[in-house]
Each structure stands twice: as C-alpha cells, then as structure tokens.
C-alpha cells in the first residue's frame, strides 16, 4: 500500500476488521478499539465518500468494528460520548443511533432511548432510498432488537425479553459472513437483561445459545460465570 498509491486498502481493512472483531469476542477491548482506530485513520477518497452504501471502506469497517466492541463490552458511557464518532453514511448512521438507543435504555433513560430510536428510523429511510428501496436484513434485526430494549426500559420486562428472544432467532438466521454482519449476538443482550431482572433460566439459556453460535465467546462465558458464582437478584 505504501509503495503503490493506486493499491486499494479493502483487503487490509477486511483483515484488520476481522482482527478487531476477534479481539472483541475474546475479551480484549483495548486491542479491538486500537485495531479499529487504525482503520478510521485511512480516509476515504472523494468517490468513496459519495458512495452512500459503500460500507466496505477502511473507515467504514473500522467504525463498525469499534461500535461493535463498545456494544459488546457494554460501554454505554463511551457510546454516548464523542469516543464513537457520528458517521454520515445512512446505514452506519442508523447503527450509530441504534447503539445510542440501547445505551440510553440500559441506563434507564427511556425518553432519550425513544428519541434515538426515532433518529435511527430516519437514517434507515435514507438507507432504504440509497439501497434501491430495500433495508438490509441485519438492519431489520436491529430494529426488532431495539424494540426489546425499549420495552424493558419501559418496565415491560417479560414482553421485552420475548422480543429480544425473537430478535436473537432472526439474527442467527442471517447469512453467514466474515466478519459477522451484526455487532454481537442478540443472545448476549437477552442474557444480560434476563440476569439483571432475576430471570436466571432465560439468562442461562441465552448465554448458552450465544456460545453455540460463537464458541468461546468471552461475554457469554462471563455471563454464565456470574450466574454460577452467586444468586442474581432483580436490579443487578
């Protein structure tokens, strides 16, 4: 890449994106974010900037992998700060508001979460327009998952857990790609919410589902370890 100014960065970006995702799944947040930031430093050329649905550039892949790590590690304050830059491309912007909506829901800020959800919907409309009238399957799953977070934040816990379980099933049916098209298994979110509200059987099943989907998933393993080490009460 240094020797040939015309050589593209797509293959390098793909490899580093995969590396950042692997770091995230094995529990190494700092290395995941560092790898992602390397890609964020590779600016898009004017043609790439204009391609609204091109999310395979180094910058786009770096942003997605960093967002995924922040969500997977439950770094809600980092997500809501300027540590997660606001992207311009519609699909990435939808992910941005999705992550912020989940962060607000996790912090118990229902109105703020709903506001972010509305902004996500607006970004998805622009994504659909740029994508020839279609919303990508993973974005539909993201919408479905977010409904579960909003329900739980609105004190409808059982309803929200059911919505998350259905979203997890849809996410597992997504076409396999490397790295995955979804930030982290929805089952992880289901497990942590269930554990937080004392639904230990649901939590254990969810974490085991995540491990079936992604063997050696550090986050699912951590959830199971907490369940086995001490009783979990509502409000954890």
pLDDT value at residue 4 = 82
Are residues 37 and 136 located together in one domain of the fold?
yes
Residue 3 belongs to a domain: no
pLDDT digits (tens, 9 = 90+) for 67-120: 999 999 999 999 999 899 999 999 999 999 999 999 999 999 999 999 999 999
- Name which of 15-29, 40-54, 193-207 the model is least confident about: 40-54
- Dist. CA 34–CA 36, nearest whole Å: 5
The single residue listed with the structure tokens 């649905």 is 53
DSSP 176: P
pLDDT value at residue 234 = 41
pLDDT digits (tens, 9 = 90+) for 22-43: 999 999 999 999 999 999 999 8
Global confidence as pTM: 0.94
- Dist. CA 190–CA 123, nearest whole Å: 25
- Dist. CA 134–CA 23, nearest whole Å: 32
- Name which of 2-11, 23-32, 139-148 the model is least confident about: 2-11
Q: Which of 184, 200, 223 is the last residue of a domain?
A: 184
Are residues 54 and 124 located together in one domain of the fold?
yes
Task: Please state, rounded to an integer, the average pLDDT across all residues of the chain.
Answer: 94
Closest C-alpha to 164, from 143, 185, 186: 186
Are residues 235 and 128 located together in one domain of the fold?
no
pLDDT value at residue 233 = 47
- Dist. CA 184–CA 163, nearest whole Å: 17
Residue 216 belongs to a domain: yes
Are residues 62 and 99 located together in one domain of the fold?
yes
pLDDT value at residue 45 = 85
Are residues 87 and 199 located together in one domain of the fold?
no
Average pLDDT over residues 145-169: 98
- Dist. CA 193–CA 172, nearest whole Å: 19
Closest C-alpha to 164, from 150, 181, 154, 179: 150
Residue 78's CATH number: 1.25.40
- Domain hosting 233: range is 185-236
Number of domains in the chain: 2
Residue 4 belongs to a domain: no
pLDDT digits (tens, 9 = 90+) for 162-190: 999 999 999 999 998 989 999 999 999 99
Our measurement of the distance from residue 206's CA atom to the centroid of its chain's CA atoms, rounded to an integer in Å, reads 17
Integer-rounded Cα Rg, in Å, for the chain is: 18
């Amino acid at each position: 890449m240094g020797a040939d100014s015309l050589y593209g960065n797509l293959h390098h970006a793909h490899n580093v994106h995969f590396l950042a995702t692997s770091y995230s799944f094995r529990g190494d947040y700092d290395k995941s974010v560092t790898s992602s930031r390397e890609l964020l430093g590779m600016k898009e050329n004017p043609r790439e900037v204009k391609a609204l649905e091109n999310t395979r550039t180094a910058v786009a892949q770096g942003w997605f992998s960093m967002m995924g790590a922040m969500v997977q590690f439950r770094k809600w304050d980092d997500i809501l700060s300027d540590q997660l830059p606001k992207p311009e491309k519609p699909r990435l912007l939808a992910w941005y508001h999705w992550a912020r909506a989940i962060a607000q829901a996790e912090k118990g800020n229902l109105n703020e979460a709903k506001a972010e959800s509305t902004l996500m919907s607006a970004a998805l409309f622009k994504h659909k327009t740029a994508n020839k009238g279609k919303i990508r399957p993973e974005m539909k799953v993201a919408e479905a998952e977010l409904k579960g977070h909003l329900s739980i934040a609105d004190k409808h816990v059982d309803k929200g857990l059911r919505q998350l379980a259905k979203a997890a099933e849809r996410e597992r049916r997504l076409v396999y790609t490397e790295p995955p098209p979804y930030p982290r298994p929805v089952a992880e979110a289901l497990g942590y919410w269930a554990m937080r509200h004392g639904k230990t059987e649901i939590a254990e099943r969810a974490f085991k589902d995540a491990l079936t989907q992604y063997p050696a998933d550090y986050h699912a393993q951590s959830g199971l370890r907490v369940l086995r080490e001490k009783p979990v009460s509502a409000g954890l």
